[in-house]
């Protein structure tokens, strides 16, 4: 058990005090006993000397009887317990009493000498009778006194300690309360000593701690409130972020013009339906829809009208689709429609026809009413592919074929894909061919139906393909028209033709060469300028080059075509309308065009023999041309009869296999020599 501080203090004080007292008393007792002993030794010595003096006569005279009397006399003295006398030879002559030799006895010896002659010696023994026991008793009493004194001291200090410890105990209790988190209480302060001041200090500390505790609580409260606020703000921010995120996500996934989902979203959705389709063996159709002639709307009515048209198309598409279908704007004038559950081409066609019909209803753009046609291609999952990229490509291929054949709608067929692949490869090859000079010109003569003489040559391009052999223009000119290659191709042909025309002119047998120009070329604002530069570079007179533009190309953008033809004729280059009769141009329009010639489409000429209708058409074209002051050429003359009919109708020139097939330049030169 731990001893209390008070017990330790009292024990310490009592022990020290008792030991001190004991030491003081014991040492006084020692001094007392020492001085007593000294007195007895001195007395024994003086008694021995008196005994020797008294015994001297008896020894000298050798009177033993007297000696024994003296001995007994000595023994009668107080405290003497033994007396004895020896002669000079050491013989004991007389003695009395008992020789004890103890703690409380002291001996003294004195020699008996007369005139420096020794006659023997005497011995005396004194006992300290009575005083020793008194001292022992005193010792015991001292211990009792010391113990009593210690007890008393202990008692006094116990009482005093209680008084002193009162304050310390109070502090102890206070410390315990503080340890338990209780602050602000006050301990009673008694007196004004250090302990009282300590208690007062403790009270101050308790007050301070209370204040600190309250402040900490206030701060804690504030922190809690701030925390709450922060939480709220974080919540608000998170909400705002989520909203912004959703908006961004929406923007990333939608087309801003029409509000329809975009290509990214379509790909995502396709991926989903493909996965679901694989799991559940479900099918769907992917349709791609492309507006026909959208570029014309944009060019002639402006971009705003174009945008409006796209928005209108989007609205109409969505209005005719089911909720489960997804209409997407892929870009430009191209839309995609995802039709879940549509498993067959027939189902897709029904939807496509419905959509195409809705689009045909006129759209009001400014002061114009425009009717929109479009081309649709469909790929079916899983029949035509089970990957996003493949399905998109196949639907696109089908759309492309539908557009090319003016079919409105087509379901994908594997043959289209091969063609598509070939086309892509061809495009790359064609670009190289133009650069490498793999394109060659064949020339086909035209003859004057009145004189029968050669009147000109038409340059017809061919591609000497390293793998596919000699390719006719039908296999690569449309490709060039769809890509950026039409300009380079036409200028390349024009350069070759100009060079050839100049060569013939230099050989003193000049012959005009006709070069075919695509509608795409007329869209190029710098086209006329480029033609002029090429002729100049080749050093050829402009009347030796004619340009042929098909009637359909003219009608694509009549005003632009009219301006281009005007500029060309100002340059001295004559322009002919090719394949006339297929493009429905009006008389009024033709009148405005600065063309020199029209070439009747070969289909009419070739069929003149079988169809009366066609000969009527040919006749009316000839008359029309002449009435406008134009020369008329009959193309596709395959027989002598056809040529005769043309001549009889008053047609000016003829061109066709019956006269000559298109030939390379050396063959053409030979032919010309033979038919001079």
| Interface positions with ligand C2E (CB under 6 A) | 444, 460-461, 472-474, 477, 490, 493, 516-518, 548, 578-579, 602, 635-638, 655-657, 662
Report in angstroms how near the CB of residue 483 gets to Mg ion at its nearest. Answer: 21
135, two tokens:
């001292």
Residues 6 or more apart whose Cβ sits within 8 Å of residue 136: none
Going from the C-alpha of 262 to that of each of 158, 308, 613, the distances in angstroms are 100, 18, 51
| Closest among 90, 95, 126 to 108, alpha carbons compared | 126
One DSSP character per residue, 489-512 reads HHHHHHHHHHHHHHHHHHTT----
Nearer to ligand C2E, 477 or 651 (CB): 477
DSSP conformation class of 384? T
Binding residue (CB under 5 A) for Mg ion from 128, 290, 312, 579: 579
Helix (H, G, I), strand (E, B) or coil at 74: helix
CA 560/CA 148 separation, integer angstroms? 143
Nearer to Mg ion, 285 or 576 (CB): 576
HSE-up (13 A, CA, CB side) for residue 163? 7
Report in angstroms how near the CB of residue 502 gets to ligand C2E at its nearest. Answer: 18
Report in angstroms how near the CB of residue 660 gets to Mg ion at its nearest. Answer: 15
Which of these ranges, 245-253, 257-265, 470-478, 575-583, lies near Mg ion under the rule CB under 5 A?
Answer: 575-583
Yes or no: say if 636 and 653 are a contact pair by the CB < 8 Å rule.
no
**105-114 sheet: strands from edge to edge:** 92-97, 80-87, 117-127, 105-114
Nearer to ligand C2E, 59 or 493 (CB): 493
Nearer to ligand C2E, 382 or 478 (CB): 478
Nearer to ligand C2E, 326 or 516 (CB): 516
375 is in the binding site of which of ligand C2E, Mg ion, none (Cβ under 5 to 8 A by kind)? Answer: none
Provide Rg for the chain, Cα atoms. 73
656 is in the binding site of which of Mg ion, ligand C2E, none (Cβ under 5 to 8 A by kind)? Answer: ligand C2E
488 is in the binding site of which of Mg ion, ligand C2E, none (Cβ under 5 to 8 A by kind)? Answer: none
Yes or no: say if 122 and 51 are a contact pair by the CB < 8 Å rule.
yes
Nearer to ligand C2E, 262 or 490 (CB): 490
Yes or no: say if 578 and 551 are a contact pair by the CB < 8 Å rule.
yes
Location of structure tokens 């996500």: 249
522 is in the binding site of which of ligand C2E, Mg ion, none (Cβ under 5 to 8 A by kind)? Answer: none
One DSSP character per residue, 119-169 reads EEEEEEEEE-TTHHHHHHHHHHHHHHHHHHHHHHHHHHHHHHHHHHHHHHH
Nearer to ligand C2E, 97 or 662 (CB): 662
461 is in the binding site of which of ligand C2E, Mg ion, none (Cβ under 5 to 8 A by kind)? Answer: ligand C2E
Nearer to ligand C2E, 123 or 579 (CB): 579
Element (H, E) at 81: strand 80-87
Can the peptide bond before residue 382 be classed as cis, meaning omega within 30 degrees of 0? Answer: yes
CA 25/CA 21 separation, integer angstroms? 6
Report in angstroms how near the CB of residue 493 gets to ligand C2E at its nearest. Answer: 4
473 is in the binding site of which of ligand C2E, Mg ion, none (Cβ under 5 to 8 A by kind)? Answer: ligand C2E
Report in angstroms how near the CB of residue 548 gets to ligand C2E at its nearest. Answer: 6
Q: Cβ–Cβ contacts within 10 Å for residue 353, how many?
A: 13
Report in angstroms how near the CB of residue 624 gets to Mg ion at its nearest. Answer: 17
For residue 578, state whether it binds Mg ion (rule: CB under 5 A).
Answer: yes
Binding residue (CB under 5 A) for Mg ion from 105, 203, 516, 615: 516
For residue 446, state whether it binds Mg ion (rule: CB under 5 A).
Answer: no
Report in angstroms how near the CB of residue 665 gets to ligand C2E at its nearest. Answer: 15
Nearer to Mg ion, 128 or 579 (CB): 579
Report in angstroms how near the CB of residue 497 gets to ligand C2E at its nearest. Answer: 8
Distance from first CA to last CA of the chain, Å, rounded?
Answer: 148
Which of these ranges, 25-33, 72-80, 343-351, 572-580, lies near Mg ion under the rule CB under 5 A?
Answer: 572-580
User: Bridge partners of 654?
Assistant: 447, 634
Report in angstroms how near the CB of residue 411 gets to ligand C2E at its nearest. Answer: 30
Interface of this chain with Mg ion, residues 585 to 644, rule: CB under 5 A: 635
Total of chain residues touching Mg ion, rule CB under 5 A = 5
Which of these ranges, 41-49, 231-239, 433-441, 509-517, lies near Mg ion under the rule CB under 5 A?
Answer: 509-517
Nearer to ligand C2E, 294 or 527 (CB): 527
Report in angstroms how near the CB of residue 329 gets to Mg ion at its nearest. Answer: 39
Report in angstroms how near the CB of residue 657 gets to ligand C2E at its nearest. Answer: 4
One DSSP character per residue, 547-593 reads EEEEHHHHHHSHHHHHHHHHHHHHHT-EEEEEEETSS---HHHHHH-
CA 343/CA 384 separation, integer angstroms? 11
Nearer to Mg ion, 317 or 660 (CB): 660
Report in angstroms how near the CB of residue 374 gets to ligand C2E at its nearest. Answer: 27
HSE-up (13 A, CA, CB side) for residue 223? 6
Which of these ranges, 212-220, 346-354, 508-516, 518-526, lies near Mg ion under the rule CB under 5 A?
Answer: 508-516
CA 202/CA 199 separation, integer angstroms? 5
Report in angstroms how near the CB of residue 461 gets to ligand C2E at its nearest. Answer: 4
Going from the C-alpha of 254 to that of each of 193, 246, 270, 279, 285, the distances in angstroms are 89, 12, 15, 28, 21
Binding residue (CB under 5 A) for Mg ion from 47, 349, 548, 557: 548
Report in angstroms how near the CB of residue 649 gets to ligand C2E at its nearest. Answer: 17
CA 552/CA 439 separation, integer angstroms? 25
636 is in the binding site of which of Mg ion, ligand C2E, none (Cβ under 5 to 8 A by kind)? Answer: ligand C2E
Which of these ranges, 75-83, 142-150, 516-524, 558-566, lies near Mg ion under the rule CB under 5 A?
Answer: 516-524
Nearer to Mg ion, 47 or 579 (CB): 579
Nearer to ligand C2E, 292 or 638 (CB): 638
One DSSP character per residue, 444-470 reads EEEEETTT--EEEEEEEEEEEETTTEE
Nearer to ligand C2E, 121 or 442 (CB): 442
Nearer to Mg ion, 347 or 583 (CB): 583
For residue 546, state whether it binds Mg ion (rule: CB under 5 A).
Answer: no
Burial pattern 394-408, b for ≥16 Cβ within 10 A else e, equals: bbbbbbbbbbeeeeb
662 is in the binding site of which of ligand C2E, Mg ion, none (Cβ under 5 to 8 A by kind)? Answer: ligand C2E
List of residues contacting Mg ion (CB under 5 A): 516, 548, 578-579, 635
């Amino acid at each position: 058990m731990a001893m209390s501080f008070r017990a330790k203090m009292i024990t310490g004080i009592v022990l020290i005090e008792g030991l001190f007292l004991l030491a003081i008393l014991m040492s006084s007792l020692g001094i007392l006993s020492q001085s007593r002993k000294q007195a007895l030794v001195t007395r024994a010595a003086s008694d021995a000397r008196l005994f020797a003096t008294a015994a001297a006569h008896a020894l000298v005279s050798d009177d033993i009887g007297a000696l024994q009397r003296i001995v007994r006399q000595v023994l009668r003295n107080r405290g003497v317990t033994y007396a004895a006398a020896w002669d000079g030879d050491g013989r004991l002559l007389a003695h009395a009493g008992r020789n004890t030799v103890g703690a409380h006895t002291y001996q003294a010896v004195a020699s008996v000498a007369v005139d420096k002659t020794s006659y023997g010696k005497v011995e005396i023994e004194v006992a300290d009778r009575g005083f020793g026991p008194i001292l022992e008793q005193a010792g015991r009493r001292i211990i009792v006194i010391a113990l009593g004194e210690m007890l008393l001291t202990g008692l006094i200090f116990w009482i005093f300690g209680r008084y002193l410890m009162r304050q310390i105990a109070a502090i102890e209790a206070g410390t315990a309360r503080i340890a338990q988190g209780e602050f602000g209480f006050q301990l009673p302060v008694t007196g004004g000593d250090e302990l009282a001041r300590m208690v007062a200090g403790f009270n101050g500390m308790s007050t301070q701690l209370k204040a600190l505790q309250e402040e900490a609580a206030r701060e804690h409260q504030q922190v809690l409130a701030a925390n709450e606020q922060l939480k709220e703000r974080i919540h608000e921010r998170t909400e705002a972020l989520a909203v912004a995120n959703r908006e961004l996500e929406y923007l990333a996934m939608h087309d801003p013009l029409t509000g329809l989902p975009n290509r990214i979203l379509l790909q995502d959705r396709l991926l989903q339906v493909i996965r679901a389709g694989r799991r559940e063996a479900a099918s769907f159709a992917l349709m791609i829809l492309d507006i026909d002639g959208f570029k014309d709307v944009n060019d002639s009515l402006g971009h705003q009208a174009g945008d409006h048209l796209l928005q209108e198309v989007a609205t109409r598409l969505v209005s005719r689709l089911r909720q489960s279908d997804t209409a997407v704007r892929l870009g430009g004038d191209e839309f995609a429609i995802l039709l879940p559950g549509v498993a067959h081409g027939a189902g897709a066609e029904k939807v496509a026809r419905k959509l195409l019909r809705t689009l045909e209803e006129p759209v009001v753009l400014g002061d114009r009413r425009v009717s929109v046609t479009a081309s649709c291609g469909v790929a079916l999952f899983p029949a035509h592919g089970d990957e996003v990229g493949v399905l998109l490509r196949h639907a696109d291929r089908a759309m492309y074929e539908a557009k090319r054949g003016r079919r409105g709608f087509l379901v994908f067929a594997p043959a289209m894909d091969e063609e598509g692949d070939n086309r892509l490869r061809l495009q790359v090859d064609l670009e190289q061919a133009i650069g490498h000079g793999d394109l060659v010109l064949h020339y086909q003569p035209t003859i004057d139906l009145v004189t029968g003489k050669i009147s000109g040559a038409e340059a017809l391009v061919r591609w000497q393909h390293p793998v596919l052999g000699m390719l006719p223009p039908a296999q690569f000119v449309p490709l060039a028209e769809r890509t950026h290659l039409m300009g380079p191709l036409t200028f390349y042909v024009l350069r070759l033709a100009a060079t050839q025309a100049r060569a013939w002119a230099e050989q003193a047998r000049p012959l005009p060469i006709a070069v075919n120009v695509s509608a795409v070329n007329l869209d190029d604002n710098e086209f006329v300028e480029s033609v002029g530069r090429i002729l100049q570079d080749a050093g050829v007179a402009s009347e030796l080059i004619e340009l042929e533009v098909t009637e359909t190309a003219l009608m694509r953008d009549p005003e632009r075509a009219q301006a281009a033809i005007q500029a060309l004729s100002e340059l001295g280059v004559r322009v002919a309308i090719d394949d006339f009769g297929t493009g429905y141009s009006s008389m009024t329009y033709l009148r405005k065009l600065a063309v020199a010639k029209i070439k009747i489409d070969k289909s009419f000429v070739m069929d003149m023999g079988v169809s009366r209708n066609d000969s009527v058409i040919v006749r009316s074209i000839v008359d029309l041309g002449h009435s406008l002051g134009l020369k008329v050429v009959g193309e596709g003359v395959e027989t002598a009869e056809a040529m005769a009919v043309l001549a009889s109708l008053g047609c000016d020139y003829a061109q066709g296999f019956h006269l000559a097939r298109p030939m390379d330049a050396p063959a053409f030169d030979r032919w010309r020599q033979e038919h001079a």
